[in-house]
Homo-oligomer: A and B are copies of this chain.
């Protein structure tokens, strides 16, 4: 999963954690051109296996990467904020992030999660001038970005790209629908179970102890995903731990018996 190992394994970032002083941090992150960073590394690595590039040859892939900017974001900082002018679109290379919307009252709701290989900030796909949500790093992350003006060019030049974006949008719509259904029909416990399972799919990592969710995840994160309070989440996880279904520590959840979770 952390194929870009010489850039640091993100489990390391995790171990060091980050002072989550505020959940509202504007991005003040390093930006480096691809050449500085060494695009050879990305080419050699299996970046071309990542989704939108799938049906491109090496030459095309290189062209796309040449045009990209690398962006590195610390935990709880943002790639962009709700309402910002949508100047770029992104491809997540490493790390995880949550797409968050905030209400006037200040409640945060996690609308979806993005895993490596997925695109985000694709306002262009919606004919939107601004981002409609905030992209916040759950763990330290690495993303490629392109100026939005290139969007239409990519669509024209790279036939696979259009398909990939459509599929991405489709997946999201379904994911959001599922979430909606879960919220509408299920009790808190089942909603939490659902959320955990979905994260497991996206970011599951086998360990000797069970499947771990491969980025730091607090009770509050889960509560924001499921529309409940961190207290309820805590109670729920405690109960599951008593029953041996999961092992949960600080910012970390390992699921031992995914099947036994109350679907």
Contact = CB atoms under 8 A, between A and B. Distances in A.
Interface of A: 101, 103, 105, 107, 109, 111, 125-128, 132-133, 163, 166-167, 169-174, 176-177, 179-181, 183-185, 224, 226-227
Contacts of A107: 181, 184-185
B127 A173 contact: no
Q: Is the interface of A mostly helix, strand, loop or mixed?
A: helix
A39 to B, nearest CB: 29
Given A109-B181, A180-B109, A167 B126 contact: yes
Contacts of A226: 184
Contact of A179 (B133, B166, B180): B180
19 contacts: A103-B181, A105-B185, A107-B185, A111-B177, A111-B181, A125-B166, A125-B169, A126-B170, A126-B171, A127-B166, A127-B167, A127-B170, A172-B173, A176-B177, A176-B180, A179-B180, A180-B183, A183-B227, A184-B224
A227 B185 contact: yes
Contacts of A183: 180, 183-184, 227
A177 B132 contact: yes
Contacts of A103: 181, 185
A17 to B, nearest CB: 27
Contacts of A163: 127
A179 B103 CA distance: 12
A166 B126 contact: yes
B127 A181 contact: no
Nearest to A185: B107
B227 A173 contact: no
A262 to B, nearest CB: 13
A178 to B, nearest CB: 9
A166 B103 CA distance: 25
Nearest to A124: B166
Given A107-B185, A169-B169, A169-B173, 16 more contacts: A101-B181, A107-B184, A109-B184, A111-B177, A111-B180, A126-B171, A127-B170, A132-B173, A176-B177, A176-B180, A183-B183, A183-B184, A183-B227, A184-B224, A184-B226, A184-B227
A154 to B, nearest CB: 14
Q: Of A132, A184, A224, which is in contact with the most chain B CB atoms at under 10 Å from its CB? A: A184
A201 to B, nearest CB: 18
